[in-house]
Each structure stands twice: as structure tokens, then as C-alpha cells.
Structure 1
């Protein structure tokens, strides 16, 4: 029973949110001396997860609410500086509570903290609207940094749990027919140990109605590079079949101390693939409003998140 309880206690300590929010930086950017202010509000819930090659079902919903503020300033028509800050709440929950309370994990209280901060410079390599070729896309390259927030990393984390850097390639193209267009992203993110590196992608098609209404359907995901399946190798084949003595000194198992300090949950390999749909509206002042929905459809060591959110981009000429 003790081992089974430990498995559940450790197995749901996966990373639950990326530091970047939905509908953040894209290929399109503000022009010189123009500031884009983008507040984003996101609410996510889950009661199940992808744990390596298995699925887990929990007894309580875990709720995450995040408020983001993204600022993008056009230094020139092609060069943009950006900063994204956010504050999040991890709601009170008890993920395992069965057999009339005889088997349960400790209740996690409400937790608050600043999310990982992102900052960087983005350069527009190609601008489809300045090109004489109809097939030319808009292409932007971004180099940025990540500063870990002040949230509690145990037992779950509002961010990825480490500082680092990233390189992002953004693609956009208005097809010029039937109001159709496409958006894309390919990124590489590297952070301090033991958090593994990640490859991130985003691909979407949008349809414009009446010049001011947009419907966007796409996929967003992350593919972890390295890391491990669970914090304790004794839970992974073939070590899960090995029975060996557990030494204890004054009631403390040295191996458990090693696992806690050297193989924390934020060092796991995490993979997820999310399906997204968004509805957007542009008013006569150029403000861009977006309501979006996202669902995790596949993954590895990640929560099966259901997410709803609202974002508005407010342009200011300085």
C-alpha cells in the first residue's frame, strides 16, 4: 500500500502550463513607434493525465487561472521588442480520494505566484505586404529569454520551473482567396538543468468573414528533448521488478532524498498536442478581440487540459 500511494503521489507532478500563453507573439508585428498591449486571461481544468504510456484519472478537478500581460513595441518597422508577464492561481484540490477517505493524497491549498517571464527581440525577415510576389509569406525570427517565476514548484508548478532561452520562427500568410490564411511557429527552448529542452510548434488556418471576423483552427504542441518518465526510476522497467533492501538512517532513506533533490518533477520529459479553435473580431479602432478554446488530445507526462481564454490586442501609436 505504501508503494502504491507513493506512485500516485509522484505521478501527477507533471508540468501543467507553458510559460508562453495562447495567441502570444506571431509573425505579424507592430510598426515603428507602435505599442501593442495584449491582456490575456486563461482558465484551465483537468481531472486526468497522460503518464508516460498510461492514462490516469483523478478524483478532483485541478483548476489553473492565469492573467497575462504582453507588451510588443516596434523599434522599427521590422524590429520588435516584447515582454510577457503573468500571475497565476492553482486552485485547491485533492487528486486522490477513494474508499471513503481511506486512500487519499494530502489536499493542496490554493497557491499563487508570478509565472515565467518572457522577453525578447523579434525581427521580420519577410513581409508579404511589402513584396511584389503573391506567394511571399511573412516570416519573423525571435530570440528571447525566460525568467522563472516565484511560484511553488511542489507538488505542482504554474510554470516549467527553470530560467532559460528560446529561438522562435514565426510564419504567417494571407492566401488572398476566400478570406483564408495560415499561421505557424517552430521554436526551440533551452533551460537550466534538470529541465529538458523542448521543441514547440503551432500550425493553424484562419478564415476571415466580412473583413472583421476571424475563425482560427489549429494545433499547438511541445516535444520534450530528454528528461525521464517518472521521478523515481524504481517505478520504471526493468527496475520496477527488482526487489532490494531499502536502507534507512534515523528513519530517512538516502535514496528518497536523492530522488527528491536530483530528479524533481520539473525534470521530466513532457510532450503534449493541443487542438485549438478561436473566434476573433477587429473593431474600427484596430483593437483585436479573441475568444479561444483548447483541448489536450495526446501527450506524455502532461495534464489533459481543457482551456478557455480571452485576449485583446490594443494598438497605440506613440
Structure 2
């Protein structure tokens, strides 16, 4: 069960220049670097679809770096790496122990993502002016170096593959646009597969871009926390449902560089924390 999600962080800042979270690719021979830092916290948790207050705070602090490089006009490659620390300052929930070995803090490298994106439709060259930019992305997920089997694990420890598409549409006359994506992930071991989708809009005012969107993520199969067959070492087998609202602002302080600030909050879920997320990022083109 992925308690916290790097895709959500990057999606919150999806309009922050060219990065692998958007449908727009860097021009051939150029690239984009995006360092990201975030703090996420939760005091409530959905066990199955029943909300409960945790005995203590659950927090996660993460840093990551995303790089994307334009290979051809319609093809780009991307890499995302990161490091994360998760802390749970609380005891058992009734008779259920949520950590192991009295260890409140767990840390490790985050899951690495490698991807290739292929732009299928370019809205700026399409004969149909109403068409959005459409980009297909395929990628590999390499599990990070961290322990699993408790509430404060960094993630699920599962390798896998993902396939999805991204779209974007710019309305030049209104200085506004739409963005979105859909991805399906096939994960190994007993971790359930999952799908994720988002839809949002943004508005440009001078050097600032303001964005807002919704994101949905659901596991395909899996067990419920505290349900039949659940034990602490089966946290990775848990199904998750997560619906999140995202807002962000990006400042283009230089022609090829941006600074961004974003916030996200879980609206509804199952087997997931009701989390708040604050994320900052910078974007540099090369």
C-alpha cells in the first residue's frame, strides 16, 4: 500500500514547466531537471472505508529529483529518484500494533522510475485545432531500499511496469489550459496492481501559473486493513483508494527556470491516510 505518492507530488506541480508528468516534451537535445521536496502528514486513517483517528501523527518528508531529456521531436526519456523518511509517533490502535520493533522512524531510497514518452498528437501542428496534445508513456518501477510490513514503511517494495497517456490543451486566447493523465501499473509479488488518473486546469497571469485538479488512485484487488487475512506483514497486500484535491502556483522567474509551491489534501479513501501535502519544486532547463 503506497501511503504517500510521488506521482501526486509531481501532479500537484504539473504545470511547472516541462517534466515527465505533463504531455509536453522537451525539444530534441535539451532537457529539464526538477528537484522536489515535500512534507506530508496525517492524523486520521481510513481502515477499509471507516475513518479513525490515529493514536499519533504520521508524517513523511521526501526529496526527489526528476530528469527528462528530449531524444527526438516526439520521444523523450525520464528518470525519477528520491529519498524519504517516515515517522509515526503513536502506539497501537486498540489491540492492533501498527509498527515493529518499537521503531517510530523508517527511511530509505524511494522507488526509482524510468520511462519513455512518445507524443502521438501535437496540438500546435495538428490540422484539427481542437485536438489536445496526447503523449503515451511506458515505464519501469524499481523498488527502493526500505523495509516493509508496517504503517510507517516508505512504500510497498514492489517492482513493476506502468503504461499510460497524458494530455494537455492550451487556450492561448484565455492564457489557460487543461491537463490530465491515466496510468495502469502492474506490480510484482502480492502487491495489487493499481490505476491512477487526474484532471486539472490552470490559468496564467503574468509570470505566475495557478493550477487546480483532482486525482484518483485505486488498487485492483487486495485485502482490507484489519479485515480477513490481514496481518502486519501483509501491509503490502492492502488495496487502496485515494481521491485527492490539488492546487499549485508556479513562478517563471527566468525564461528557462521556475519555482513552484503546491498543496494537496485527501478527500476520500479506503485503507489510506487522510493526508495533507505541501510540496516545493524548482525547474531548470538545459
Fold match (TM-score > 0.5)? yes
Equivalent of residue 27 in structure 1, options 14, 23, 28: 23
Query: In 2, Cα distance between the equivalents of 1:260 and 1:125?
Result: 44
Equivalent of residue 205 in structure 1, options 201, 206, 231: 201
Structure with greater helix share of residues = 1
Query: Quick check: 278-287 or 46-55, which moved more?
Result: 278-287
Kept after mapping to 1: 8 A contact 2:46/2:271: yes
Counterpart position of 1:5 = none
1:46-96 deviation line (CA, Å, top 9, x unaligned): 011111121110121111001010010111121001000010001252244
Query: In 2, Cα distance between the equivalents of 1:80 and 1:136?
Result: 21
Alignment of 1:66-215 (within 5 A): 66-96=62-92, 107-156=102-151, 157-210=153-206, 212-215=207-210
**Residue 46 (structure 2) pairs with residue 46 (structure 1):** no
Q: Which runs of 5+ in 1 are unaligned?
A: 1-13, 236-258
**Residue 285 (structure 2) pairs with residue 298 (structure 1):** no
1:253-274 deviation line (CA, Å, top 9, x unaligned): xxxxxx566xx11111101000
Kept after mapping to 2: 8 A contact 1:69/1:84: yes
Residue 97 (structure 1) shift: 7.8
Distance verdict in 2 for CA 1:278–1:310, change over 3 Å: same
Query: Quick check: 217-226 or 129-138, which moved more?
Result: 129-138
Counterpart position of 1:216 = 211
Query: In 2, Cα distance between the equivalents of 1:226 and 1:62?
Result: 25
What is the DSSP-based 3-state SS (H/G/I as helix, E as strand, rest coil) of the residue aligned with 1:27? coil
Q: Which runs of 5+ in 2 are unaligned?
A: 11-19
Equivalent of residue 60 in structure 1, options 41, 56, 78: 56
Residue 26 (structure 1) shift: 1.3
Equivalent of residue 5 in structure 2, options 18, 31, 39: 18
What is the DSSP-based 3-state SS (H/G/I as helix, E as strand, rest coil) of the residue aligned with 1:80? strand
Residue 133 (structure 1) shift: 3.2
Equivalent of residue 33 in structure 2, options 30, 37, 49: 37
Runs of 4+ displaced beyond 6 Å: 102-106
Query: In 2, Cα distance between the equivalents of 1:22 and 1:275?
Result: 12
Query: In 2, Cα distance between the equivalents of 1:289 and 1:46?
Result: 26
Kept after mapping to 1: 8 A contact 2:56/2:88: no
**Residue 252 (structure 2) pairs with residue 282 (structure 1):** yes
Residue 311 (structure 1) shift: 1.2
Structure with greater strand share of residues = 2
What is the DSSP-based 3-state SS (H/G/I as helix, E as strand, rest coil) of the residue aligned with 2:223? coil
Residue 15 (structure 1) shift: 3.2
What is the DSSP-based 3-state SS (H/G/I as helix, E as strand, rest coil) of the residue aligned with 1:32? coil
The CA RMSD over aligned residues, in Å, is 2.2
1:237-294 deviation line (CA, Å, top 9, x unaligned): xxxxxxxxxxxxxxxxxxxxxx566xx1111110100001000111333212210000
Residue 105 (structure 1) shift: 6.5
1:206-255 deviation line (CA, Å, top 9, x unaligned): 01112x211100011201111111365167xxxxxxxxxxxxxxxxxxxx
Distance verdict in 2 for CA 1:122–1:103, change over 3 Å: closer
Larger radius of gyration: 1
